């Protein structure tokens, strides 16, 4: 393999991982939320707010870590609103999620224009990249793994979630809240608390995903920059059949499909640009249609729970 081919493979793998990360953060949060029985269509809005707040925090303070913290702080009220509507008021989870997305899109667009003006891009301080020690000079791998440390945090969180859901009492409660909420209630657990906690966790993860876009990838903010990543994260959970490992693979697959938009022209392969842009969404449609295997969602997903006697 010649030097140019090695460089292209390193670029492709690195781009696939980088483009997958915003989706992966949000998908991991959504996996926990859906396992608890709550569907968050507001992932797109929460990611967008995370990207905006992270960018503004880094721009104002010059410290990307403070921007990252501000992203989480800014998204938590949105997640709390989603939890209140879905869990407390038993509102339609699809309608409330779409409404939040529209609200956040308008709010971030207005705020960005008021705070920054109509300039399309403002460069902001971003998170530094890091390569695992000893791999810097390895062909393909070294270039592919020179990423923001948030990327490695995402995989660490994925492992932690897998362990939590499979081997802990908290994981058992989350499973019960989404599959047999009455059983959890009878055992003394609180379905409401578990579901609210799961939605708030999804908010934190969506904030990290949005902040990865603005702080860990392009180091700027543009209006509507999530560009459907939140919806693809939702599909990643379905594609992964509500399992942690498969959800991770689904998001990386979507990232690779997106990276092909830039890789194929570099290889001299002529493919219509519109077809390449469509590719991740075509894969998503196949997943939603059940053409990638039998889907087994939590039994009580989207169903409100009313305690007996209320």
Q: Quick one: how far is CA 185 from the chain centroid?
A: 30
Name the token pair of 74.
């800014």
Q: Quick one: how far is CA 27 from the chain centroid?
A: 5
The C-alpha atoms of residue 238 and residue 6 are separated, in whole angstroms, by: 34
Confirm if 47 and 221 have CB atoms less than 8 A apart.
no
pLDDT reported for residue 249:
92
- CB within 8 Å of 114: residues ≥ 6 apart: none
Mean pLDDT, consecutive 10-residue stretches, the chain (310 aa), reads: 63 86 95 94 95 93 93 96 93 92 93 79 83 74 81 94 94 93 89 95 96 90 89 89 92 86 69 71 71 76 75
Helix (H) or strand (E) holding 147: strand 147-148
Q: pTM for the full model?
A: 0.91
Name the token pair of 129.
């990249």
Tokens 């802990």, residue?
A: 168
pLDDT reported for residue 279:
72
Helix/strand/coil percent split, the chain, to 5: 70, 0, 30
DSSP 8-state code for residue 47: H
DSSP 8-state code for residue 215: I
Name the token pair of 274.
């519109």
Confirm if 229 and 209 have CB atoms less than 8 A apart.
yes
pLDDT reported for residue 83:
95
The C-alpha atoms of residue 82 and residue 128 are separated, in whole angstroms, by: 33
Nearest to 29 by CA among 216, 268, 200: 200
Sign of the Cα pseudo-torsion (244, 248, 249, 254, in order) = positive
Name the token pair of 262.
């830039």
Name the token pair of 89.
């008021």
DSSP 8-state code for residue 297: -
- CB within 8 Å of 191: residues ≥ 6 apart: 37, 177, 181, 184, 185, 305, 307
pLDDT reported for residue 34:
95
Confirm if 46 and 233 have CB atoms less than 8 A apart.
no
Tokens 């699809």, residue?
A: 94
A 10 A CB-CB count for 301 gives 17
Confirm if 208 and 75 have CB atoms less than 8 A apart.
no
């Amino acid at each position: 393999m010649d030097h140019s081919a090695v460089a292209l493979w390193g670029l492709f793998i690195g781009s696939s991982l980088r483009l997958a990360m915003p989706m992966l953060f949000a998908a991991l949060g959504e996996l926990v939320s859906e396992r608890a029985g709550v569907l968050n269509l507001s992932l797109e809005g929460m990611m967008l707010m995370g990207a905006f707040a992270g960018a503004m925090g880094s721009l104002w303070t010059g410290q990307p870590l403070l921007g990252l913290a501000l992203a989480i702080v800014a998204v938590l009220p949105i997640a709390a609103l989603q939890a209140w509507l879905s869990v407390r008021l038993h509102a339609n989870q699809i309608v409330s999620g779409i409404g939040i997305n529209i609200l956040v899109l308008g709010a971030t667009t207005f705020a960005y224009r008021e705070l920054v003006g109509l300039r399309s891009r403002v460069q902001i301080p971003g998170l530094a990249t890091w390569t695992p020690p000893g791999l810097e000079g390895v062909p393909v791998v070294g270039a592919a793994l020179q990423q923001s440390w948030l990327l490695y945090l995402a995989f660490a969180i994925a492992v932690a979630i897998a362990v939590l859901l499979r081997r802990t009492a908290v994981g058992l409660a989350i499973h019960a809240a989404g599959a047999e909420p009455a059983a959890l209630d009878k055992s003394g657990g609180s379905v409401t608390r578990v579901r609210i906690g799961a939605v708030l966790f999804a908010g934190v993860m969506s904030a990290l995903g949005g902040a990865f876009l603005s702080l860990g990838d392009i180091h700027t903010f543009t209006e509507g920059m999530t560009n459907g990543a939140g919806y693809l994260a939702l599909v990643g959970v379905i594609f992964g059949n509500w399992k942690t490992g498969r959800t991770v693979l689904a998001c990386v697959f979507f990232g690779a499909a997106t990276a092909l938009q830039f890789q194929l022209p570099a290889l001299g392969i002529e493919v219509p640009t519109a077809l390449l842009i469509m590719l991740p969404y075509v894969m998503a449609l196949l997943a939603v249609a059940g053409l990638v295997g039998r889907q087994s969602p939590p039994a009580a997903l989207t169903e409100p729970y009313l305690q007996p006697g209320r």
